[in-house]
Amino acid sequence: MTHELVVSCRDSGQSGCLPAVAPSNAALARWCASRGWPVHPLAPGRTTPVADCEACGRPGHSPDGCACIQAGRWCHGFQAATLDFARIERWWSTQAGLGVGVACGSANLVVIDIDAHGQQPPDRDRLLPGIPIPRSVDLGGLANGFHTLGVLAALRGEVSPADDETTLRVRTPSGGLHVWYRAHGSHRWQCSTGSDGHCALAWQVDVRAHGGYAIVPGTVAAGAYTVVGPAREPAALPDWLAHELARTGHLPPAHVPAPRPVPPRARQAVIAAGGDCGPAGRAFAGVLGEVTACEAVPEGDAFSVKLNRAAYTAGGLVAGGHLSKAAAEQALREAAEHARPGQARRYGAIIRSGLDAGLLRPLSPGGHA
Ligand SMILES: [Zn+2]
Ligand SMILES: [Zn+2]
C-alpha cells in the first residue's frame, strides 16, 4: 500500500522527520545534512550524479586528492558529498531540478535496494549466493528481488526488509523499494549488486553502503521517490540482516593490506575464483598482487618466496574447487612475467612445484581469510 509523503512536523529544516510535501530540493539536502548525512547533487530528472568537470572526466584522473573536491566543487559524485550548508545552498541554486543523493558510507547508512525488473531468474544457485536451494523447492513464481529477499527472510524466520514497517522505505519509479537502515558499530559495509553471483545478498537486490549513494525521497527522476508506510526514519540495521551481509562478503577483509594491482588476465582468474569480495578470490588476488609487486624489487629471493606462496595458495584453491588449474597457472605465469620478464624457465619451475604442493591441501577460505 502506498502512502503519500505526509507532513508530520512543521519544521522543514533542522530536525525530526522528512521535510513537508514538495520541499525544494535544497531543503531536502539541508534536511539530510542536518542529520549528518553528506549530500551531493544528482543531474536533473536523473538518478546519476551531475557530470564531473572536463579535467575530472579524463581517463586516469583519480578522485583521491582531487583539487575540485578540495575547492568545494561537486565533481566525483558521492565522493564530493558535503554537510556544509553554504555549499549546499550554492550547489542547489546553480540550476533547477538537481536531485539529492546521500553518500551512504559516510552517512553510516545501509540501503537495501530491491528491484522489480521483469527478468528471467538465473540458475537457482545464483538466487541467494551461498545458500543452495534444493531442487524440491518450486521457484515457479519467483520473478524479482522482492521474492528473493522474501525467501531469504523466510529461511531465517525474519520479516523481509520490504515489509519492515519500523524503518524508512522509499518506493522507486520503477516499482522497486529502497529500505534504509542505520549501520551501527564500526563496520564499513560495502556496496554490491544483486547480479554479481558471488558478492550479493540476493538476486535483484543491491546494497548501497560505502562506495555508493542513495536517492533521497522527494527527488524526482523518471517519477517520484516516495516514502511508503509509517516510518520516517531509518531504523537500526537488524542483527540478522547484518549477519547475512557479513556472510555474503559485504565487509572489507580484516587484515588484508591495500590491494596491489594484478595484471589483466590474472584478474580474470581472480574473478573466476569469486572476485575480491569473496574469500577465495580475495586470497588469490592478495598473493598474486604480492608477486606482481616484486617488479619493484629486482634482486633478492623475495620473488621466489612470494611466487611459491602464491602457487601454493592457488593449488589449494584449485583443490578446494574455487578455480580451475589452467586458470590458476595462467594467472600465476602472467603475474610472474610481470615481475620477472623473460624468466619463464625459472618461474615456471616454482609455479609447478608450488601448485603441486598446494593441490594436496584443499583450501576453503572462510570468514578470516
Ligand atoms: Zn572537477
Ligand atoms: Zn577530480
* 18-59 pLDDT, tens digit each: 655 557 899 999 999 999 999 999 999 999 999 999 999 998
What gap in Å lies between CA 369 and CA 366, rounded to an integer? 5
pLDDT at 112: 98
Tell me which ligand sits closest to the C-alpha of residue 71.
Answer: 1
The Cα–Cα gap between 337 and 307 comes to 11
Ligand approaching nearest to the C-alpha of 64: 2
Cell numbers 524503518 correspond to what residue?
Answer: 167
Rounded to the nearest angstrom, the distance between the alpha carbon of 337 and the centre of ligand 2 is 34
CB 37 within 8 A of CB 99: no
φ and ψ at residue 93, rounded to 5 degrees: -100, -5
The confidence score (pLDDT) of residue 296 equals 82
Final residue before a domain boundary, out of 201, 219, 247: 247
Overall average pLDDT of the 208-221 stretch: 92
Look at residue 139 and tell me if it is in a domain. Answer: yes
The verdict on residue 369 lying in a domain is no
Contact predicate 285/274, CB 8 Å:
no
Residues 160 and 291 in one domain: no
The set of residues, in sequence order, having a beta carbon less than 8 Å from that of 163 and lying 6+ positions away, is: none
Residue 173 Cα to ligand 2 midpoint, Å, equals 31
Q: What is the pLDDT of residue 367?
A: 41
pLDDT of residue 100: 96
- The predicted pLDDT at position 18 comes to 61
Assigned domain for 102 exists: yes
Task: Scan for cell 546521500, then name that residue.
Answer: 102
DSSP-derived letter for residue 97 is T
Ligand 1 center to residue 54 CA distance, Å?
7
Does residue 194 share a domain with residue 70? yes
Residue 229 shares a structural domain with residue 285: no
- For residue 8, what pLDDT is reported? 36
In this structure, of 246-250, 296-300, 340-344, the range with the lowest mean pLDDT score is 296-300
pLDDT at 340: 92
Both 231 and 268 in one domain: the answer is no
For residue 273, what are the domain limits? Answer: 264-359
| 216 closest CA partner among 11, 31, 50, 8 | 31
Whether 258 is in a domain gets the answer no
Whole-number percent of the chain with pLDDT over 70? 90
Q: What is the pLDDT of residue 2?
A: 33
Domain boundary (218, 247, 276) is at 247
pLDDT at position 225: 93
Residues 232 and 312 in one domain: no
Does 16 score more than 60 pLDDT? no
Report whether pLDDT(65) > 90.
Answer: no
Ligand 2 centroid from CA 70, angstroms: 9
User: Does pLDDT of 349 surpass 70?
Assistant: yes
Mean pLDDT of 210-233: 91
In a domain, 257, yes or no: no
pLDDT score of 368 more than 50 = no
Least confident of 83-87, 113-117, 283-287: 283-287
Q: How far apart are the first and last CA of the chain?
A: 44
Checking if the pLDDT of 243 tops 90, the result is yes
* Residue 5, burial from CB neighbour count under 10 angstroms (0-12, 13-18, 19+): buried
DSSP 74: -
pLDDT at position 369 over 80? no
Please give the distance, rounded to the nearest whole angstrom, from the Cα atom of residue 120 to the centre of ligand 2. 39
Higher pLDDT, 12 or 130: 130
For ligand 1, the distance from its centroid to the CA atom of residue 309, given in whole angstroms, is: 42
Centre of ligand 1 from the C-alpha of residue 50, in Å: 11
CB-CB contact of 148 with 211 (8 Å): no
pLDDT at site 182: 97
**109-119, pLDDT tens digit by residue?**
999 999 998 88
* One domain for residues 225 and 270: no
**Is residue 256 very low, low, confident or very high in pLDDT (cuts 50, 70, 90)?**
very low
Of 214, 247, 280, at which residue does a domain stop?
247
Enumerate the β-bridge partners of residue 279. Answer: none
Same domain, 108 and 180: yes
Residue 223: per-residue pLDDT:
86
Specify whether the CB–CB gap between 324 and 272 falls below 8 A: yes
- Same domain, yes or no: 306 and 242: no
- Name the residue among 105, 68, 103 with its Cα closest to residue 83: 103
Count other C-beta atoms under 10 Å from residue 250's C-beta: 23
Instruction: Answer yes or no: do 40 and 99 share one domain.
Output: yes
Statement to judge: residues 281 and 149 lie in one domain = no
DSSP 114-144: E---------GGGTSTT-PPPTTS--TT--S
Q: How many CB atoms lie within 10 A of CB 186?
A: 5
| Residue 79 in domain | yes
pLDDT recorded at residue 113: 98
Q: What is the Å distance from ligand 2's center to 244 Cα? A: 35
If you measure from the C-alpha of residue 24 to the centroid of ligand 1, how many angstroms do you get, rounded to a whole number? 26
Q: Across residues 333-346, what is the average pLDDT?
A: 92
Shared domain for 119 and 238, answered yes or no, is yes
Region 182-207 average pLDDT: 88
pLDDT at 197: 58
What span, in angstroms and rounded, lies between the C-alpha atoms of 41 and 89? 11
The H helix count followed by the E strand count for the chain is 12, 9
- Under the banding of pLDDT at 50, 70 and 90, the label for residue 255 is very low
Mean pLDDT of all residues in the chain? 87
The answer to whether residues 93 and 136 belong to one domain is yes
> Is a pLDDT exceeding 80 seen at residue 276?
no
Residue 181 lies in a domain: yes
Mean pLDDT is lowest, of 6-10, 120-124, 355-359, for 6-10
pLDDT category, 176, cuts 50, 70, 90? Answer: very high
Q: State the total domains in the chain.
A: 2
Of 6-20, 79-93, 246-260, the poorest mean pLDDT is in 6-20
Residue 288 covered by a domain = yes
pLDDT in the model for residue 19? 56
* 223 against 278, higher pLDDT: 223
